[in-house]
Structure 1
């Protein structure tokens, strides 16, 4: 396990300060606010710690309400909405400085057999043939992205091996492309056999690149180049089949629409052997600076 991954796991190991109240801290972020994937993953950890171990998340729905302060702790309060025979529902509110910054509802289910079908996995190259972030990012330093931003990106994503199939938005500024992006990802190190942990880590990563497809359609580089101001607004995930976050996962993303200062991203996450593991939808603020 790398030091960066160890640090990320520590970040997700919340302090329990009451039966249904937890406290988390933040790590250094690419921008001076709490990374949305972090608060979503921490909230899911908090919810999961109040649920029987044989029940795992099958869906979550969340809203980002305010910008998080990375210098202050975040308190997560879990509301036990329902404990049924097959399903458990939890609501989590994340609070900083006395105000809610994030709200999550999550539903958990015991495993059961049922009907089976899935959308086929799209064509994508073997992740082992793709360059790492450490190999890709420095190529763009000084062209569209300043070196300090490259360093922050590499530091913030050091726990995750994330590889773009095609050049990322900040590499092709001014060149509109199809509103679609693919990345392969896995943790930089092996994880324990704890299914909830793998789900929480996929939740963490899911907020990293989902709005890239919005930027690609307009030839924009995003926050890294300063030609767009953005932030996550809401986020939804459905967990279909078991997976491991320390094994390669394909994040196939697209944007069907952008309007009104907002952009929509939708995606599917597949295991390397072609199983559809997760579906994701997110809307975010996407504004052009004036």
Structure 2
């Protein structure tokens, strides 16, 4: 297991302070703000630890209110909204410096049989047929902007293999679609709740960028101010985050300084395991007055 994955697992192993109160920390304090996927995953873990083991998260809905401070602990306060015959509902508020920075509502259910259908997985090259590792920075991203190169050279717990790198190397306006193979870069085992939390962590990666493709921009452009505003996720079927998943994304709309993005996560065998929707702030960065 890589050091980055070990850090991720440590980050998701919250400290219990009280019956419904948990504390989390951030693995990298050099960032300006806490990564949104980390807060989503930590809040989900806090909720999971107050729910019977046989019930698993099938959906979550969340709002980002303030940027998280990587240097300070995050307190997760769980409200046990309801324990019903079929569903369990939890609300989690993340707190820093005396203020709420994030809220999450999650619903849990026991596995049960029912109607079953899904959309088909897009026909794309398999991850082993795509460039990866050092080949990406030495060839495809050789002339990419420096922030892009730094991003791809940084150790991380999640491995990406995009089907296309066009948006990293051009300022042309592109169709707002993206296909990215993703997986945890180390084996995290088969615990279902942990894998669900890691999928939630992954789901905030690369997504908002898709809304900028139509404008010839990316989140790496210093002229763009971008931040997640809300995030929703539905877990359809169990999946292992250490195995390749196709993250198929599109952006149907941007307006009012906000971009809407959607994503579908497919296992290698074509099984649709989760769906995602997110609205994010995307606006030209305001210049400071002289």
Instruction: Quickly name the TM-score band, shorter chain normalised.
Output: over 0.9
Separation in 2 of the partners of 1:152 and 1:121?
A: 28
1:18 aligns with 2:18: yes
Q: Deviations over 1:37-65 (max 9, x none)?
A: 00000000000000011111000000000
Asked if 2 retains the 8 angstrom alpha-carbon contact of 1:138 and 1:150, the reply is: no
Selected match of 2:234 from 233, 238, 243: 238
Asked if 1 retains the 8 angstrom alpha-carbon contact of 2:141 and 2:169, the reply is: no
| Equivalent in the alignment of 1:211 | 208
| Equivalent in the alignment of 1:250 | 246
The alignment of Structure 1 onto Structure 2 pairs a total of residues equal to: 286
| Equivalent in the alignment of 2:196 | 199
1:90 aligns with 2:90: yes
| Equivalent in the alignment of 2:136 | 136
What is the RMSD computed on CA atoms of the aligned residues?
A: 1.7
Q: Unpaired runs of 5+ in structure 1?
A: none
Asked if 2 retains the 8 angstrom alpha-carbon contact of 1:169 and 1:212, the reply is: no
Shift in alpha-carbon separation, 1:168–1:208, aligned structure 2, 3 A:
farther
| Equivalent in the alignment of 2:181 | 184
Separation in 2 of the partners of 1:221 and 1:285?
A: 13
Task: Give the secondary structure class of the aligned counterpart of 1:279.
Answer: strand
Asked if 1 retains the 8 angstrom alpha-carbon contact of 2:251 and 2:260, the reply is: yes
Scaled by the length of structure 1, the TM-score of the pair is 0.94
Q: Deviations over 1:125-166 (max 9, x none)?
A: 11011122543245577844226x6335543x5211111111
Separation in 1 of the partners of 2:64 and 2:166?
A: 25
1:169 aligns with 2:164: no
